[in-house]
Structure 1
Amino acid sequence: MARHRDERIDQSVLAAVTALLREVGYTALTMEAIAQRAGTTKPAIRRRWKSQKQLVVAALAEERTGVAEMDTGCTSCDLVGHLEALRVGMADPALGNVLPALTADLADDPELRKEFLAVVWEPRREACVESLRKGEARGEIRSGLDIDLLMDLFAAPIVFRVLFGHRELDRKFVRDVVSGVLSGVGATDGDGLCEHVGP
């Protein structure tokens, strides 16, 4: 009879990966360090995850850094909230410092890329998509627009600045992105941000 998988080891390993990513970064991460931090062995880890890269993706999915549930009744407020959560999440070394190097690995591994998109990126997208659909239902966003395209228009500037670090990524930039995109897709010209969104 097969032995039951000890979920305590799973959680210890994932927590160890997240902590080490913050301390040493993605490229310096090793299985030895993970096993030592988690109080387990490398064979025990390899029985659960096929590779260290897959383990990193699992840790990012578990941490849910940058995922936010927003429903203020105001589309621009919700979008600022989502992108601000993404910005803060990207400032966390467990995500922001990992993403550039991990992106290169994803390009060479279609299976890992598919898994990353499903368990790490999709939850962040889905939370924001829900806000966009509610905004459409309230008449704050023009109906019939490509929601996936809208998501990319909102999120891409944040991710781009994280990957290249060429300009400051602050709350003002988040507000400017939301205002700029909504001015083009809002139900009326120049919708911008509502008065409830703080500075």
Structure 2
Amino acid sequence: MSQQHSDAAPHPARAAPGGRPRDKTIDDRATQAVLTLLGRGPYTALTMEAIAVTAGTSKPALRRRWNSLPGVVVHALISVLGTTPTLDTGCVRCDLLAGISNLADGLTSSSVANALPGLVSDFAGDSELKAFFFREYFEPRRNSTRAALERAIARGEIYKTIDMELTPDLLAAPLYYRALFGHQPIDAGLAERIVLSVLGGIASPDGNRLH
């Protein structure tokens, strides 16, 4: 069951009022606290109070940065997974493998994946939270993948006619699917298998650096 959050939608971190110096370590401590608590229990058990205590800060300090509990969790998600993981190496396979491996590693090396089902459920009742998630995390990562695909098109490695909305989905969806449902593991070779499977459908005959 989704958590019910009565707070306003999350916002990026804001400066402390009254001219007080802002404690820049709280952001990192809050992220670590979220990961620690998700490693101990489910997303539905998270509270701002528990995060504050674990981070060694206060609820008001957290609320000055994020107006809601999901806002803190989205911040932790961004901190772990990043927003621009796809490199520019001059090789489409290398670029995409770096980006998808980043996602796979983040989902398996931390407890952040434990929050995904609850966050997705929260989106259904909170359009502002969903917009925040898409703006701050989801779309930047997709744009990183699109940029790699556009570079590959310019080099003649993949077809110019690929669907630029569908292809990023094909690359990332298997990882999110397994993180959400847990029906199969995110194993060490999955990222490479995904990339090679997708490239098998979009590589041009002249692509010469896919393997």
> Which category of TM-score, normalised to the shorter sequence, fits these structures?
0.7 to 0.9
Partner in structure 2 of residue 30 of structure 1: 47
- The residue aligned with 1:74 is 91
What do the CA deviations read for 1:99-147 (whole angstroms, capped 9, x no partner)?
1221111122111011111112223222222211111111011114331
Amino acid paired to 2:145: C
Contact map agreement 1:183 1:192 (CA 8 A) in 2: no
Pair 193,22 (structure 1): closer, same or farther in 2 beyond 3 Å? farther
Distance 1:158 1:39 in 2: 33
> Secondary structure in 2 aligned to 1:50?
coil
Residue in 1 that maps onto 2:58: 41
Q: State whether structure 2 residue 24 is matched by structure 1 residue 8.
A: yes
Specify every segment of 5 or more residues in structure 1 that has no aligned partner in the other structure, as ranges. Answer: none
Q: How far apart, in 2, do the equivalents of 1:52 and 1:108 lie?
A: 14
User: Is there any run of 5+ residues in structure 2 with no aligned partner, and where?
Assistant: 1-16
Q: Deviations over 1:73-114 (max 9, x none)?
A: 211122122111111111134321111221111122111011
Query: How far does the alpha carbon of each residue in 1:43-98 deviate from its partner, in whole angstroms, 9 at most, with x for none?
Result: 33233322111121122223335852422221112212211111111113432111
Q: Which moved more, 1:61-70 or 1:166-175?
A: 61-70
Deviation of the 1:4 alpha carbon: 4.2
Distance 1:15 1:177, change over 3 A: closer
Query: What is the 5 A alignment of 1:160-179?
Result: 160-179=177-196
Q: How do 1:81-120 residues align onto structure 2 when only pairs under 5 Å count?
A: 81-120=98-137
Query: Which moved further from structure 2: 169-178 or 77-86?
Result: 169-178
Amino acid in the other structure paired with 1:6: R
Count of residue pairs brought into register by the alignment: 194
Q: Distance in 2 between matches of 1:93 and 1:164?
A: 17
Q: Using the aligned pairs only, state the percent identity.
A: 39
Q: Does 1:124 align with 2:141?
A: yes
Corresponding residue of 1:187: 204
- The answer to whether the aligner puts 1:64 opposite 2:64 as a matched pair is no
Give, in whole Å, the separation in 2 of the partners of 1:175 and 1:14.
29
- Structure 1 residue ranges, 4+ long, deviating more than 4 angstroms after superposition: none
TM-score, structure 2 as length reference: 0.78
Q: Shift in Å at residue 193 of structure 1?
A: 7.7
RMSD over aligned Cα atoms? 2.6
| Matches of 1:16 and 1:85, distance apart in 2 | 22
- In the alignment, the residues of structure 1 paired with residue 89 and residue 66 of structure 2 have an alpha-carbon distance, to the nearest angstrom, of 39
Q: Which amino acid aligns with 1:73?
A: G
CA distance in 1, matches of 2:163, 2:89: 23
- Cα distance in 2 for residues equivalent to 1:193 and 1:169: 26
Task: Give the whole-Å Cα distance in 1 for the aligned partners of 2:18 and 2:68.
Answer: 22
TM-score, normalising length: structure 1: 0.83
